[in-house]
Chains A and B, each alone.
Chain A
Amino acid sequence: MRIFEFIRPTDPASAIAAAAQSKTAQQGADVRFMGGGTTLIDLMKLNVETPDRVLDINRLPLDKIEVTPNGGLKIGATVRNSDLAHHAKVQKDYSVLSQALLNGASAQIRNMATVSGNLLQRTRCVYFRDTAMSCNKREPGSGCPAISGHNRTLAILGTSEHCIATNPSDMCVAMAALEATIHVQGPKGSRAILFGDFHLLPGNTPNRETVLEPGDLITHVTLPPPVAGSKQLYLKLRDRASYEFALASAAVVLTIAGGNITRARIALGGVGTKPWRSPDAELALTGKTANEATFRQAAEAALRGAKPQSENGFKIELAKRCLTYALRTAATN
């Protein structure tokens, strides 16, 4: 690990001022905020991340979960994954989020990992994590050996000729389906970012993963008021039963009235280069009868345009079955 200066800012304003000195908020940032450290310290040990300064945000007043005036939820940036998963209102009204969190990592890591850190969780692509290998995300222009190499766990949606790295987060998949909003405070003031606008597709710049700029501090995430009577489910498929990243996962939020689907929010994990909301699947469900044929049509719609690589073609059918099963289970709950 490279030497760095450890700083504990006493208020958000000084944290933002210090972070604004960084050349970038993306890969290779010279100033990094540190939450739980579960991604950042791991990558610093691998010399994938080499910040000159680390800003510990854990003692900033960003650790509360509060009900908003409109009945939604405000989740502070440093709220731990375990606290969010076990929060009574999350379990009751946003159960897909609780399920996604509890399907992620291990109990120890959930006690450490923060909400804001999870929004910025980095890919597990082995080429990204190994500085002896080329990687366009880590070193733009150096090439992507994953495309002709080991890509079994990598993405089939949202890929480019420069990067096929999977976004590994479970939490983000649920937040995409719940239409969360990410609140950022930066050198130029505060702004709210719709969840779907936060993560970027790799395109020609896989080193840029989010819209964050130097000095941008995620202060909290808000969830809209719960949808009354919605049926929610997070289903995660992986190589082992626990403590493993998704090969495919699905977050579904359904409202069904008289056997018809009146509202659907669908997101997939483990298959996309970003948390993968699927408007096509939502369209295929809305207004239709809640039955097997409808669910399968939604799954076909969600995976239309999927681009398999040499080792991960199985993910297309796996993701379809994952979504179909999740829809069926949620609908009959």
Chain B
Amino acid sequence: MPDEDHQSRPSSPTRRKFLLTTGSGVAASVVAGYIPALANSAAGEGDAAPVDAVPNIEGAVPIALRINGKEHSLRIDPRTTLLDCIRETVALTGTKKGCDHGQCGACTVHVNGRRVLSCLNLALMHDGEEITTVEGLLTPDALHPMQAAFLAYDAYQCGYCTSGQIMSAVALLKEPCGPDDASVKELMSGNICRCGAYANIVAAIQQVRKNA
């Protein structure tokens, strides 16, 4: 999780932190309140967890989301998808927006342990449910075995689809799936990779399954 990441290396400004800081300045001046978490951090709260801001959004409704084991009490526009809530409101940007129409899988997260497309869900539908994003897979000490396998097998090029691929792959470990590559490909067909890293993605998943 980014918070642990910051705490473990307090003096090294990560790329993510840089983007958050610069991005938040823009957010505060141009669309204050629209990206509440970022606006909050721009208000001088530094490394405080940039969540749970209560901005003044017309028609906003309260929601309690549990993301990666952490409670977030938020107020959101009812139209907010789970994806936009995770990225823009809670500022966990590991989950990616690809097509935004349920056709690419980049936004895959887990709800109550099952993989879903966060772009085709309203955040409000998940009040009180357990959500896991790619940031919730690793511990402060180690990558999730699937993340490590993706590294070892070079299972990406540009990396944009990778968090969705990994979230799908982790969920697949608990789903009915035949032992062969064809079964893995079938169950991973909802995650599109335009770079075409599919062969290495399948190899990484099979390695984790073999060791499981």
**Chain B 70-87 per-residue mask, 1 if CB under 8 angstroms from chain A, else 0:** 000000011101000000
**Chain B 83-123 per-residue mask, 1 if CB under 8 angstroms from chain A, else 0:** 00000000000000000111001001000001111001110
- Contact yes or no, B78 A107, CB < 8 A: no
A-B contact pairs, 30 of them (CB 8 A): A3-B59, A3-B77, A3-B79, A4-B78, A5-B78, A37-B121, A37-B122, A37-B125, A38-B102, A38-B117, A38-B120, A41-B81, A41-B120, A42-B101, A56-B122, A105-B190, A106-B189, A106-B190, A107-B168, A107-B187, A107-B190, A108-B105, A108-B117, A109-B120, A111-B116, A112-B116, A112-B117, A241-B186, A241-B189, A242-B189
Q: Please give the number of chain A residues whose Cβ is less than 8 angstroms from any Cβ of chain B in the complex.
A: 27
- Contact yes or no, B120 A107, CB < 8 A: no
- Contact yes or no, B100 A109, CB < 8 A: no
- Contact yes or no, B121 A112, CB < 8 A: yes
Q: Is B151 an interface residue, CB under 8 A from the partner?
A: no
User: In whole Å, how far is A150's beta carbon from the nearest beta carbon of chain B?
Assistant: 18
Q: Is B179 an interface residue, CB under 8 A from the partner?
A: no
- B78 interface neighbour in A3, A42, A45, A86, Cβ under 8 Å: A3
Answer whether A111 and B78 are a contact pair too, CB < 8 Å, given A37-B125, A106-B189. no
On chain B, the residues within 8 Å of A109 by CB distance are 102, 117, 120, 190
Answer whether A242 and B122 are a contact pair too, CB < 8 Å, given A3-B78, A107-B115, A109-B117. no
User: In whole Å, how far is A62's beta carbon from the nearest beta carbon of chain B?
Assistant: 15
User: In whole Å, how far is A113's beta carbon from the nearest beta carbon of chain B?
Assistant: 9
- Contact yes or no, B120 A37, CB < 8 A: yes
Q: Is B152 an interface residue, CB under 8 A from the partner?
A: no
- Contact yes or no, B186 A42, CB < 8 A: no
Q: Is A314 an interface residue, CB under 8 A from the partner?
A: no
On chain A, the residues within 8 Å of B101 by CB distance are 42, 45
9 residue pairs, one from A and one from B, having the closest CB atoms: A106-B190, A242-B189, A243-B189, A6-B78, A111-B114, A1-B79, A108-B117, A38-B120, A41-B120
Most buried by A among B100, B105, B185: B105
Q: Is A262 an interface residue, CB under 8 A from the partner?
A: no
- Contact yes or no, A111 B115, CB < 8 A: yes
Residues of chain A in range 36-54 having any CB-CB distance to chain B below 8 Å: 36-38, 41-42, 45, 54
User: In whole Å, how far is B161's beta carbon from the nearest beta carbon of chain A?
Assistant: 13
- Residues of B at under 8 Å CB distance from A? 59, 61, 77-79, 81, 100-102, 105, 108, 114-117, 120-122, 124-125, 168, 171-172, 175-176, 185-191
User: In whole Å, how far is B105's beta carbon from the nearest beta carbon of chain A?
Assistant: 6
**Chain A 1-22 per-residue mask, 1 if CB under 8 angstroms from chain B, else 0:** 1011110000000000000000
User: In whole Å, how far is A43's beta carbon from the nearest beta carbon of chain B?
Assistant: 10
Most buried by A among B114, B175, B176: B114
Q: Is A185 an interface residue, CB under 8 A from the partner?
A: no
- Contact yes or no, A56 B168, CB < 8 A: no
Q: Is A58 an interface residue, CB under 8 A from the partner?
A: yes
Most buried by B among A6, A56, A105, A106: A106
User: In whole Å, how far is A262's beta carbon from the nearest beta carbon of chain B?
Assistant: 33
- A38 and B59 CA atoms in complex are apart in Å by 24
Nearest B residue to A56 by beta-carbon distance? B125
Q: Is A34 an interface residue, CB under 8 A from the partner?
A: yes
**Chain A 237-262 per-residue mask, 1 if CB under 8 angstroms from chain B, else 0:** 00001110000000000000000000
- A280 and B112 CA atoms in complex are apart in Å by 46
On chain A, the residues within 8 Å of B185 by CB distance are 242
- Contact yes or no, B100 A243, CB < 8 A: no
On chain A, the residues within 8 Å of B77 by CB distance are 3
